[in-house]
Amino acid sequence: MPGTSEDPPDNESGAVRRAVRTVAPAVVRSGREVVSAELALTVFRQMIRTRALEERSIKMSKSGEAYFWIGGPGEEAFNVCLGLQVHKGHGPAHDYLHLHYRNAGVMLAMGMPMIDHVRQLAMRATDPHSRGRNFVGHYAVKAWNVVPVTSVIEVQYAMAPGTALVQKRHGERHPDQAEGISVVVGGEAGTAEGDFETCLNWSTRPGQELPVLMAVTNNRWGISTDFQAVSAEQRIADRAAPYGIRAETVDGNDPVAVWNALDRAMRYCRRERKPFLLEAMVSRLHGHSSSSGAQREWGQADPLTAFEQRLVDGGAIDPAGVKGLWDEAKAEADAAVVAAMREPEPTREDVYRDSYAPSEVDAVYPNDYTGLPAAK
């Protein structure tokens, strides 16, 4: 594919420019949006960690340590800003997350250790999300309300109204716990599925509006298909209009803009107990998955290098500081891989395990599935 290779293209201007400022700024701006410099650096660090983990993951899929990679390089700004703003916890007082398979940045920003991602990628028995059963990025963390990620595109949009319904009722009964929302994330291609419309419709039944944040990360591509070739829509966010849902389209590659857009959208869902549709325009830096090679596509805008440039230009960090963050993140990812690869793999005994929860009313499988029903 033209424009793709492992190495960055020659850059005549050399490395990132040095800052001219000597005093660290208090804030970082983007147009009329602003975040504190401290927050910007937190976001930046998490973006680097996410990228380092994804790049190490791609390497694993190519080295044979893993069989398949899919993920979200190019979506770090959106994912990290989302993960940092989630009300994390278990139960309806906290946020529910209906993610898809490009959300490593959300999970790392929430505090997932890198090794839990690698355990799934490396198909280990210790994989807490799926015991080596599912593709990478298919997280499931009950303690944080992260419901299982499913490869089937857009099914999460059919489920989000259910968690939001429980959250809305919970908040009405417990006014001090009335800010939990359901966040559902998917790509733009999946909005062609009926489940997207299901979410819009079920979230706006008159008098029964639901606190659902529908986030569409629009990278323009469904595997190899250009969205603009299969859909007449100009903006996904316009789909909200017939339902009276508030919506916004934001540059998902701009962490300052996306932080504030998420803050507004989440605040609205939390306080108004109504849905919001947020479309974030993002990049897809390594193609759809390892099935399409996962080569870097240098023509796509990179949210990480752009943010780095802005932070350095503004004097929020210097190149040595950037390098330090990268060294740290790469070392963390390498250590996670080394540790995970030493852990055991699933065995024959794991095949049936966790098919069924224990049931006092089941005469055949009171504890778990054990193979076809047998004569006693």
Partner 1 sequence: MATIAQAVRLALHYGEEHLGVTDVFGEDVGPPLGGVFTATQGLRTAWNTPLDERGIVGTAMGIAYAGGRPVCEIQFCDYAFNVIDLLKVAGNQRWASAGEYEMPVVVMTPTGAGIRGSLYHSHCFESWASRLPGWKVVMPSNALDAYGLMIAAIKDPNPVLVLLPKALLRAKDTRLIPGEPAEPDELSRMIDAPIGDRTDWRPQWPDVQEYVVPIGKGELVREGTDGTVISYGRPLPLCVQAADELARDHGHSFDVIDLRSIFPYDWDLISRSVQKTGRVLVVNEDTEVTNFGEHLIRRVVDEHFYDLAVRPRALMGKHVPGIGMNQAYETNSVPQLGDVRAALRELATDPA
The minimum distance between CB 83 and partner 1, in angstroms, equals 19
- Rounded to whole angstroms, the Cα distance separating 225 from 99 reads 22
Distance of CA 86 to the CA centre of its chain: 12
The minimum distance between CB 346 and partner 1, in angstroms, equals 10
- Rounded to whole angstroms, the Cα distance separating 279 from 269 reads 15
Toward partner 1, which CB reaches closer, 157 or 307?
157
Q: Is 152 in the site for partner 1 (CB under 8 A)?
A: yes
Q: Considering only residues 163, 218, 249, 300, which one is a binding residue for partner 1 as defined by CB under 8 A?
A: 163
DSSP state of 92: T
Q: Is 243 in the site for partner 1 (CB under 8 A)?
A: no
- Rounded to whole angstroms, the Cα distance separating 154 from 31 reads 33
Element (H, E) at 246: strand 246-251
Q: Is 166 in the site for partner 1 (CB under 8 A)?
A: yes
Q: List the x/- string, 47-86, binding to partner 1 by CB under 8 A.
A: ----------------------------------------
- Rounded to whole angstroms, the Cα distance separating 272 from 37 reads 30
Contact present, 70 and 134 (Cβ < 8 Å)? no
Distance of CA 39 to the CA centre of its chain: 19
Q: Is 147 in the site for partner 1 (CB under 8 A)?
A: yes
Q: Considering only residues 131, 284, 296, 310, which one is a binding residue for partner 1 as defined by CB under 8 A?
A: 131
Q: Considering only residues 9, 29, 362, 367, which one is a binding residue for partner 1 as defined by CB under 8 A?
A: 362
- How many residues touch partner 1 under the rule CB under 8 A: the total is 56
Q: Is 225 in the site for partner 1 (CB under 8 A)?
A: no
- Rounded to whole angstroms, the Cα distance separating 99 from 205 reads 23
Q: Is 160 in the site for partner 1 (CB under 8 A)?
A: yes
Toward partner 1, which CB reaches closer, 5 or 367?
367
Helical pair 194-202 and 155-173, crossing angle rounded to 10 deg: 10
Q: Is 357 in the site for partner 1 (CB under 8 A)?
A: yes
Question: Under rule CB under 8 A, which residues in 167-186 are in contact with partner 1?
Answer: 167, 182
Q: Considering only residues 142, 174, 271, 323, which one is a binding residue for partner 1 as defined by CB under 8 A?
A: 142
Q: Is 349 in the site for partner 1 (CB under 8 A)?
A: no
- Rounded to whole angstroms, the Cα distance separating 338 from 336 reads 6
Residue corresponding to tokens 């993140």: 329
Residue type, position 238, single letter: D
Toward partner 1, which CB reaches closer, 326 or 356?
356
Q: Collect all residues with Cβ–Cβ distance below 8 Å to 368 and sequence separation of at least 6.
A: 352, 353, 354, 355, 356, 357, 358
Contact present, 256 and 35 (Cβ < 8 Å)? yes
Contact present, 110 and 95 (Cβ < 8 Å)? no
The minimum distance between CB 49 and partner 1, in angstroms, equals 24
Toward partner 1, which CB reaches closer, 152 or 331?
152
Tokens at 2, concatenated: 């033209």
Q: Considering only residues 91, 113, 293, 319, which one is a binding residue for partner 1 as defined by CB under 8 A?
A: 91
Span from 74-82, 215-223, 251-259, 352-360 in contact with partner 1 (CB under 8 A) = 352-360
Q: Which residues bind partner 1 (CB under 8 A)?
A: 91-92, 96, 127-131, 133-134, 138, 140-142, 145, 147-148, 150, 152, 155, 157-167, 182, 194-195, 198, 201-202, 205, 353-365, 372-376
